[in-house]
Amino acid sequence: MKLLLHMCCGPCSCYPVKTLRAQGIEPTGFFFNPNIHPYKEWKHRLDTAKEFAAKVGMEIITDEHYALHEFVRRAIPAESQPNGRCTMCYTWRLRETARYAKEHGYDAFTSTLFYSIYQQHDLMRRTAERFAVAYGVAFRYEDFRPGWQEGIDISKELDLYRQPYCGCIFSEEERYSKEYLKRRRKENRAKKRARMEREQQSHA
Ligand code: SF4
């Protein structure tokens, strides 16, 4: 099977590539991640994806256009919908992977996003399935999450850079800003209070 493997980064590729090879599939890596910012971080992850591919002897295709402006233009309107920004982000990356796979004669596509225990697995699966139909190319689904720790171990053995946040500048703020965390805690407390009040009223 000629499989195009969307790579979100080097470390997340370790376990999926090992697993696919054990099944007799030699994937081609596809780095397309307009969601990674700022520039130095994107470049570092791109270089690490290439480093990984070279270390394990895998073919890799890379999109080397840094797309901060376009990402922000798409993300800001999406923010008004629940989960909107990440939905837009998965859609963009998985659609491009399906499109590239179809146009370049691959039998199927998948993504290392299905390795991450932090991503919205079911939403991504539905999105990939939708584009498989739209572009007429198979989506090869596999839940790589059981190999989470093994993937980390391999990435450390290969001495790959391991990033500390998801990718976009919004997720960077969510990871480091004390102000953001304070706001989130406050919002969660308010939601909890509202939920308890509703429950009390329904029992009254
Ligand atoms: S948090 Fe991660 S998945 Fe969501 S928009 Fe940012 S980079 Fe994409």
Please report where in the chains the tokens 């179809």 appear, as a residue: 102
Strand order in the sheet with 138-139: 60-62, 28-31, 3-6, 108-111, 138-139
146 and 191 both lie in a single domain: no
- Burial (CB < 10 A; 0-12, 13-18, 19+), residue 4, is buried
Per-residue pLDDT reduced to its tens digit, 51-106: 999 999 999 999 999 999 999 999 999 999 989 999 999 999 999 999 999 999 99
CA-nearest of 125, 97, 90, 129 to 32 is 97
Q: What are phi and psi of 109, to 5 degrees?
A: -135, 160
Alpha helices, H only, 58-168: 68-78, 84-103, 121-135, 148-157
200 and 100 both lie in a single domain: no
71 and 157 both lie in a single domain: yes
Tell me, yes or no, whether 172 lies in a domain: no
Out of 74, 89, 91, 116, mutate this one to test ligand 1's pocket (max ligand atoms within 8 Å of CB): namely 89
Confidence of residue 180 (pLDDT cuts 50, 70, 90): confident
182 and 89 both lie in a single domain: no
Q: Which domain holds residue 93?
A: 3-167
99 and 183 both lie in a single domain: no
Task: Measure 201 CA to ligand 1 centroid, in angstroms.
Answer: 37
Tell me, yes or no, whether 44 lies in a domain: yes
39 and 119 both lie in a single domain: yes
β 28-31/60-62 pair status: parallel
- Burial (CB < 10 A; 0-12, 13-18, 19+), residue 8, is buried
Per-residue pLDDT reduced to its tens digit, 89-103: 999 999 999 999 999
138 and 188 both lie in a single domain: no
